[in-house]
Structure 1
Amino acid sequence: MPMDPTHPLREDPALPPSWYAASVAPRVAQPPLDGDVQVDVAILGAGYTGLSAALELARRGLRVVVLDACRVGWGASGRNGGQALVGYGCEVDVLEKQVGVEDARTLFDYSRQGVQLLRDRIDQYRIDCHWVPGHANVPITTRQSQALQRDMERLTTRYDYPMQWWDRATLRAQLDSPRYQGAMFDPLSGHLHPLAYAQGLADAAIAAGAVIHEHTPVLELQRTPHPALRTATGTVHAAHVLLAGNAWLEGIAPELERHVMPVGTYVGATPVLGEARARALIRNDMAVSDTGLVLDYFRLSHDHRVLFGGGASYSSRPPAGLDSVMQRRLWQVFPQLQGVPLEYLWGGYVDITPSRAPHWGRLTPDIYFAQGFSGHGVAAANLAGQVIAEAIAGQAARLDVFERLPHRPFPGGRLLRTPLLVATMAFVKMRNLIW
C-alpha cells in the first residue's frame, strides 16, 4: 500500500515496502561476493535460520560465509506477523502420530528451548526489537473452544507446559473484542519486531566473525567432489553447506522443493492510534491468533498501531480486493475501529509442508537444510540454525530427532501442486461453511 509522502517514517528502498521497513533505520548493504573463497561453512539465506547458524558457527571459530540474493531479512524473517511461539506449525498430536509420544515430547521441549534461545539472544546482544511476552489462542465457535481446551489439557498434563484457560469474561477483560469464546493463554510465547530482530542477529553474527554477502543470488549448488555455492560473481567452496532459503529456494535443490509449498500471507498496520486507544483494545499487550481455518493474528506495535495479519493465498497471486478484505476482517475483530484504514499492507511467502511439521535434515553428510516452518518460524527458525550448527560441529543428537519426522511430497509435481492445493482448500472452506 502506498505511503503518505508526508508520513514521518521512511522505508528502506532495498526492502519490500512494509511498516517494518519503515520503522527501522536504513542500513548500509554488505558487499556482494567478489571472487572465489574457501570456508568451513557456506550458508544460503540471510533469514533467521541462516543467521542463527552463522552466529553459532562463528562463535565456535569456524569460517562462515552467508549469501543472500537480496538483503538481510528480505524474506519471511523481515515481513512476518512477529509472533514467537512455542511449538511448530502442526499440533503435538501430529508429532505423536509420526514419531511417538516420547520423541514428540522431546521435539516440543526443543521448541521451548527455541523461544528461550530467542529471548537470550535479545538480551545478550541487546537487540532492540521490542520483545513483549504473552500469547492468546482464541476460538471463534463453541466447537473450537472445546477442541482448544482438549489441546491445553494435553499440553499441561503430558507436556508439563504452563497454560491458562480464560473464559469469555476473563478474556474480554484483556481483549476488547466480542468475537471470541475464550482463550488458551501462553505466558512464555510473545511477540517482537521481526525485521529489527533479523538485523540485530546479523550484526551479532558479523561481530562474531561471520561474513555476509548481500545482493548475491546463488545460481547453483555444486555437490561433488566437495559442496560449493556458485554465484554470478564467484563461488564459495566449503566443507559444509546449509540451505536456508525456505520458500525462496526454487531450483537449487529440487528434491527439497517438492516437500514444501509457498503460501502467501498478509499483514497490515493501522495508523498510530495513541497509547490509550491501543491499550484499550489489548490491555496486557499480548499477541493473539484465532483458530479459524484461515486464521487472523494480531498485536500492538511499539508505536501503538494494530498490526493485523490474516488471509492466505495458495496460488501465486494475492486475493482479489485484498485491501478491503483485510480491513473488513480487522473491523470484524474490533468493531470500534470501523472506518480506521490500514495505512500499510504487505505480504510474502511462507513454506508449508503437507503435515505442517518442520522439515530439517541432511541431503548428504555435508549438505544440510531447514525448511517447512509452516507459518511458525520466528522461534523455530532460530532453533533450526542452532541445531544444524551443532550437527556441523559434530553434535547431531537434536537434528537426529527432527530427521525421524517422515515427510511426503506434495502431489502433482512443480506444475500441478499449486492448482491441486488451491482446489483442496476451496473444498475445505466450502465444507466448513456447510457443516
Structure 2
Amino acid sequence: MSKPTHTTSYYAASANDTRLRPSLQGEASADVCVIGAGFTGLSTALHLAERGYKVIMLEGSRIGFGASGRNGGQIVHSYSRDIDFIERNYGQEVGRQMGKMAFEGGEIIKSLVARYEINCDLKPGGIFAACNAKQFRELEDKKALWEAHGHKALELLSASDTRHYIGTERYVGALLDNSGGHFHPLNLALGEAAAFESLGGVIYEDAKVINIVQGSRAKVMTAQGSVTADFVVVAGNAYMQGLLPELEQKAMPCGTQVIATAPLSEAQQRQLLPHDHCVEDCNYLLDYFRLSGDGRLIYGGGVTYGARDPGRIESLIVPKMLTTFPQLKGVKVDYAWTGNFLLTLMRLPQFGRINGNIYYAQGYSGHGLTCTHLAGRVLSDAIAGQAERFDVFAGLPQYPFPGGRAFRIPFTAMGAWYYSLRDKLGI
C-alpha cells in the first residue's frame, strides 16, 4: 500500500523535514488524543505538552497535509467576520471578548518561531489593498475598529503611497499592518511538530481515524490501532469527512488555488514588493500574494465550492496575477496547487464539546492561520480547566447550511457570484 504524500506544491518541494512518522500500530494511552496535524491540532498539542500533558496526535496523511501546509502564508488578524459584525449580531460583550482575542494568534506564531527557533522564512509586514473607493472607506473603518480594540500598528496609505509598497497601478489605497507578516506555512507546521516532539509528544502519520468510541475515557480508533484518552480534540477541519456527521453538516469544504513563479531577479522583486510585505486585496473573492524566501511570487485566489480540484489552476490564477502585475507577462510558473478550507454559514469559527470530553474547533472560513493558533491555546486552557475563553466561541450559534448537502454548494456559489459582481461594480 502506497504511503501518503503531500500535494505538488512549492511548500512541499522546499520542506525542511521530509521524513514520514510511523503509523499507529496496536493500543496506546494518553491524557489527550489530538486528531489532525494541522495548525489547530499542532497548536493545541504543543500548548498542552508545554503544560506537561501526555499527548498523542493522529494524522490521516502527513503533517500539514491540508490547508495548514498549502495556504498563502500570511499573518492576518481577527476573523473572517470582523469584530463589528460580531458586536451587531451577538452583542457588545461577546464582541468585546472576541476583540480581546482577535490579535493574539499572530503573536502566538511569532513567539513559537522565536522560542523553538523554527526556520520558516518569517518576514514582517502585511497590507490590505483597496481596489475602489468603497473598499478604501471600509479600510478606514477597519483601522478605527481595530484601534478601538487595542491594535495600534496600522497606517493608511494613499494611492501614491501604496505604489511605494506594491508595484502596480491597481489599488486606490491600502492599510498597512506593521504587526502582520508572512512565512512558509508547511515549514512552520513541521517546526511546531518538532517542538511538540521535543517535549515528549508523539505523532503518528498515515493514521486515519475511523471511529471515536465515546465514554469517560474515549477510544479513538484507526484501522490498525487505537488511543484511549481522557480528552479528544477533533481538529480535522475540511479533511474529516465521515467521522462526526453532526459537525460535517455545519460547514462546507471549499478550495482555493495558488501558484508560485520561478525565482525572480532581485530587480523584479524590488519592483513588485520593494518592502517585501504580503498583500491581500479587499474583494469578497480576494487575491493574495507575497514573495517567498527564495524570491518567487506566490499568488493565490479564487474559490472552488465543494472543494473540487480545478483542471488547470494556472488558467485561473495567472490572469489574476497579470491584472495586478502585467510586467510579469511570460514569467514561468513552477508550481500550482489547490487546498481546502472549511466555510461556515456565518463565516465564524465553530468551537464546541461533545459528551463533555471531546472538543472540536473548525470552520475558519479562509481566515485560519492566526485563529488556528489562538484556538490551540484556548483549547488547551479549556482542557486544563480554564474554559472561559473557549466558552465565548462555543456560545456562538452554529447553523447547518440550508438545504442540506445537496443544496449547500449551489446556494453558496450563488452568494459568491453576487458578492463577486458587487466587487466588480464597486458597490
TM-score bracket for the superposition, by shorter chain length: over 0.9
The verdict on how the C-alpha distance between 1:70 and 1:13 changes in structure 2, with shifts beyond 3 A counting, is closer
- AA of the residue aligned to 1:292: N
Counterpart for residue 343 of structure 1:
334
Name the SS for the 1:36 alignment partner: strand
Counterpart for residue 228 of structure 2:
237
The verdict on how the C-alpha distance between 1:157 and 1:239 changes in structure 2, with shifts beyond 3 A counting, is closer
Matched, 1:271 2:271: no
CA deviations 1:268-292 (Å, max 9, x no partner) are 1011012221122111111100011
Contact 1:46 1:73 survives alignment (8 Å): yes
The verdict on how the C-alpha distance between 1:222 and 1:317 changes in structure 2, with shifts beyond 3 A counting, is same
The verdict on how the C-alpha distance between 1:210 and 1:46 changes in structure 2, with shifts beyond 3 A counting, is same
Matched, 1:56 2:42: no
Contact 2:99 2:149 survives alignment (8 Å): no
Give the Cα–Cα distance (whole angstroms) in 2 for the partners of residues 431 and 80 of structure 1: 25
- AA of the residue aligned to 1:172: R
Matched, 1:116 2:81: no
Give the Cα–Cα distance (whole angstroms) in 2 for the partners of residues 319 and 294 of structure 1: 16
Q: Pairwise mapping of residues 393-404 of structure 1 onto structure 2 (< 5 A)?
A: 393-404=384-395
Contact 2:260 2:297 survives alignment (8 Å): yes
Q: Pairwise mapping of residues 396-435 of structure 1 onto structure 2 (< 5 A)?
A: 396-430=387-421
1:215 maps to which of 192, 201, 206: 206
Give the Cα–Cα distance (whole angstroms) in 1 for the partners of residues 191 and 13 of structure 2: 16
Name the SS for the 2:203 alignment partner: strand
Give the Cα–Cα distance (whole angstroms) in 1 for the partners of residues 92 and 168 of structure 2: 37
The verdict on how the C-alpha distance between 1:281 and 1:427 changes in structure 2, with shifts beyond 3 A counting, is closer
Q: What is the Cα deviation at residue 14 of structure 1?
A: 2.0
Q: What is the Cα deviation at residue 161 of structure 1?
A: 3.5
2:152 maps to which of 146, 161, 169: 161
Q: TM-score, normalised by structure 1?
A: 0.93
Matched, 1:138 2:129: yes
Name the SS for the 1:308 alignment partner: strand
Matched, 1:202 2:206: no
Higher mean C-alpha displacement, 185-194 vs 160-169: 160-169
Give the Cα–Cα distance (whole angstroms) in 1 for the partners of residues 136 and 424 of structure 2: 18
The verdict on how the C-alpha distance between 1:321 and 1:60 changes in structure 2, with shifts beyond 3 A counting, is closer
Contact 1:315 1:422 survives alignment (8 Å): no
CA deviations 1:142-167 (Å, max 9, x no partner) are 11112221222222235453321000
- AA of the residue aligned to 1:191: H
Matched, 1:89 2:80: yes
- AA of the residue aligned to 1:303: D
Q: What is the Cα deviation at residue 42 of structure 1?
A: 0.7
In the alignment, structure 1 segments of 5+ residues that lack a partner are 1-11
Q: What is the Cα deviation at residue 431 of structure 1?
A: 5.7
Percent of aligned pairs with the same residue?
A: 39
- AA of the residue aligned to 1:368: Y
- AA of the residue aligned to 1:410: F
Counterpart for residue 361 of structure 2:
370
- AA of the residue aligned to 2:300: G
Name the SS for the 1:174 alignment partner: coil
Higher mean C-alpha displacement, 262-271 vs 221-230: 221-230
Name the SS for the 2:341 alignment partner: strand
CA deviations 1:85-120 (Å, max 9, x no partner) are 211111222211233233323212213221111101
- AA of the residue aligned to 1:199: L
Give the Cα–Cα distance (whole angstroms) in 2 for the partners of residues 13 and 22 of structure 1: 15
Give the Cα–Cα distance (whole angstroms) in 1 for the partners of residues 365 and 154 of structure 2: 23
- AA of the residue aligned to 2:168: S
- AA of the residue aligned to 1:207: S
CA-atom RMSD, angstroms? 1.8
Give the Cα–Cα distance (whole angstroms) in 2 for the partners of residues 412 and 203 of structure 1: 43
Give the Cα–Cα distance (whole angstroms) in 1 for the partners of residues 186 and 81 of structure 2: 25
- AA of the residue aligned to 2:93: E
